[in-house]
Each structure stands twice: as C-alpha cells, then as structure tokens.
Amino acid sequence: MSKYWSPIVSALKPYVPGEQPRMANLVKLNTNENPYAPSDKVIEAIRAAAGADLRLYPDPLALDLRKAIAARHGVEPEEVFVGNGSDEVLAHSFAALLKHDRPLLYPDISYSFYPTYAGLFGIDAIEVPLNDAFGIDIADYRRPAGAIILPNPNAPTGIGLPLAEIEALVAEHPDQPVVIDEAYIDFGGESAIALVPKYENLLVVQTFSKSRALAGLRVGFAIGQRPLIEALERVKDSFNSYPLGRAAQAGAIAAIKDEDWFEATRGKIIASREKLTNDLKTRGFEVLPSQANFVFARHPNHAGQALAAKLRERAVIVRHFAKPRISDFLRITIGTDEECARLVAALEEIL
C-alpha cells in the first residue's frame, strides 16, 4: 500500500490470470489456449500490415473489421463493437451498461473477472449460486436486478445453456441489459447473436482468442442493437480511441474470413474433448458435460490441489481453483491428442 494510491486501489481484488510457466517439455493445459497455430492467412495478413504504415494510427472505428464480423454473423457493422480482447469489451460493458440502482447479477462460480470489474467500477453485485449440477438455472435470476451478465458456456464448468433458455432469460428482463459472454460458444453451443434483432436489451460478447487461436493478438467484439453499441463507443472514446492496432485488425479480418481453418480446427478440438472426457471417466473421474475447449473434472479419491501439484511435477500444467464447491475440480484445457495422452499417462501414474 502506498500513500499515493487512490482510495479505490487498496480495496481492489485483481483478477489472477492463468500461469504462463517456462518449463522444459511442458504440456500447458491451464489457460484454454487453442493448441493449433492460427490460420496461415492470418500470419500473412499480419506480415503485410507490419510495414511503413505502422507509423500511422490505425482506423479508430475498425470499420473493415466490423464489416467482416457483421457479414459473418448477419448483422450491420453499426451493431458491432470491437476491442482489445473480450476482456476490454467486457470492461466497457460493465462501465457503460451494468451499473444501475439495483444490483448486477452473475453466477457465483463463473469468470472471476466479473467481481473484479464490479469492484473496479463500484457496481453493487449479487452472485447467484449454480444449482446442484453446477448449471445455471434461469429461474434463480427472477429477482430484482439492474442488469445480468453470464457466460455461455459457463467457465470454469464448461456447461452451456440452450438458446431457448437464453432467450427466456432475456425476455424476462426487458428493462435490464443482459450480457451473454460467449468466449467458448464455438465449441458446442448455439450463439445468442441470432436473438439480437429481436431484443434491444441483449449484448453478446465474443473473442478471437479461443476458436480463432489468436489469444496473443487481443481482439474481442460485441454485437447488439445500436443504442447498446453506442454506449460502448462512448466509453471507449473516453478511454482509448485506438484500442486495436493495424496488425490486429488485419489479422482478425483474415481470421474471420477463413471458414475452412475455423471448421477444421474446432472440429479437432471437439473430437479431442470427447476422447479426453471418456479417458477420464474410465479412470474414475467425474467430468461435467462441456461445450467449451476445456473439461472440468474431479476424482473422488484425490484432492484437486494435490492432483494439480503432482501433474506439475510431471510437467503437465492444469488450472485449480481454491474455491468452495469446486476445490477438488481441475479445469483441463483441450490440447492436441498427443498432449492429452501425456496428461492421461501422468494421471495413471499418480492414481
């Protein structure tokens, strides 16, 4: 603590990102990164953008990227907002849309950036408990609220809600903004973007980090009706008018247009997830049904923290959360089949 801090700083509980260790022969399954390299077209586009024009500011409106995203999802460019990763888009959403007289609602076991943002922006929030099966029950959100945010599929559980339940949630709260965080939607869920033309209170947030393998490029976006997007733009332009550099915009445009790479890669990840799920279950693990690029699993005879430590000794890194109800679970990113096989072999040694 320093005497120079603003009063809010000492009360903040910063988000703790997944570890980025430097170990020899490492199997890194802790941060939900895509195990495959980005599309070659993305690399080519970034190289082409890395020229003399880097001396110039990028397009602050990112219009070409917004047009590409809009064409991909069947909306208008004016209904698309882009930012420096979906985390920045979410931060602007908290500031622009989620602070009201009544509390913000989100799941108690969910993306741990939500309480961080609520604290940063001074938002009164209520954490709504997951049900006994670790799922989100929309009936639990039938209470006074200023706004709602939830991930679909949820993280770290990986469990998704069907589109009909998302629509019911949005329809039941016509006077509150509802933000659906779809970081993992491409691995098995059904996007709520299709509902945007029907519901003026719905904002859907996605990222290029997971299914487009661009975690290092930092590109995210939101889709909603124009008044919600305008609110995000007003916050952005009061904070940073140039969030996406030229290379990021060029790479993201190439990524959104390469459907062949997208379909092939996500198909491999989904197949690997199903195989890993079966491999874990045959070894006594409980595995929650995942629609993401990770699984959430626990063994009845082994504490989660101890399992994570023993895996680390074998150069296999997974994510453990020391929180009530989920302290025995491990969140395991889907790697290549070879990486998943090394994980299973290490677990066999430990078990």
- Answer yes or no: do 294 and 158 share one domain: no
User: According to the model, what pLDDT value does residue 11 have?
Assistant: 83
Domain assignment present for residue 1? The answer is no
Residues 152, 277, single domain; the answer is no
Its pTM stands at 0.96
Indicate whether 7 belongs to any domain: no
pLDDT digits (tens, 9 = 90+) for 7-44: 888 888 887 777 777 777 899 999 999 999 999 999 99
Residues in a beta bridge with 83: 220
Query: d(Cα 209, Cα 218) in Å, to the nearest integer?
Result: 7
**How many C-alpha atoms does 269 have within 13 Å on its Cβ side?**
32
Beta strands at 220-224 and 202-207: parallel, antiparallel or unpaired? antiparallel
Q: Tell whether 247 and 338 lie within a shared domain.
A: no
Give Cα 163 to chain centroid, integer Å.
18
Residues 98 and 238 in one domain: yes
**Residues 27, 345: Cα–Cα separation, whole Å:** 12
**Is residue 112 located within the same domain as residue 251?**
yes
What does the buried/exposed string (b/e) look like for 279-301 if buried means 16 or more CB atoms within 10 Å of the residue's CB? bbeeeebebbbbbbbbbbbbbee
d(CA 349, CA 351): 6
| CA distances to 82, 177, 190, 317 from 161, in Å | 25, 18, 9, 28
Q: Do 69 and 201 share a domain, yes or no?
A: yes
H helices of the chain, in order, are 7-11, 40-49, 63-73, 85-97, 113-120, 163-172, 226-236, 246-257, 259-281, 304-313, 337-350
How far apart (Å, rounded) are the C-alpha atoms in residues 14 and 11? 10
For the chain, the 3-state helix, strand and coil shares in percent, each to the nearest 5, are 40, 15, 45
User: Could you tell me if 199 and 159 lie in one domain?
Assistant: yes
* Domain containing residue 141: CATH number: 3.40.640.10
The tokens 């009706």 sit on which residue? 225
Give residue 11's identity as a one-letter amino acid code: A
| Cβ contact 169:142 at 8 Å | no
What percent of the chain is modeled with pLDDT above 90?
Answer: 93
Q: Is 218 a residue whose pLDDT tops 80?
A: yes
206 — pLDDT class (breaks 50, 70, 90): very high
Question: Cα–Cα distance between 24 and 308 in angstroms, integer?
Answer: 18
Q: Based on the structure, what is the number of domains in the chain?
A: 2
Q: Which domain holds residue 181?
A: 40-257
Phi, psi of 177 (to 5 degrees): -65, 140
Helix (H) or strand (E) holding 81: strand 80-83
Give the residue among 148, 164, 265, 170 at the shortest CA–CA distance from 208: 265
| For range 263-276, the mean pLDDT | 98
Q: Is residue 9 part of a domain?
A: no
- Asked whether residue 234 is assigned to any structural domain, the reply reads yes
Indicate whether 285 pLDDT > 90.
Answer: yes
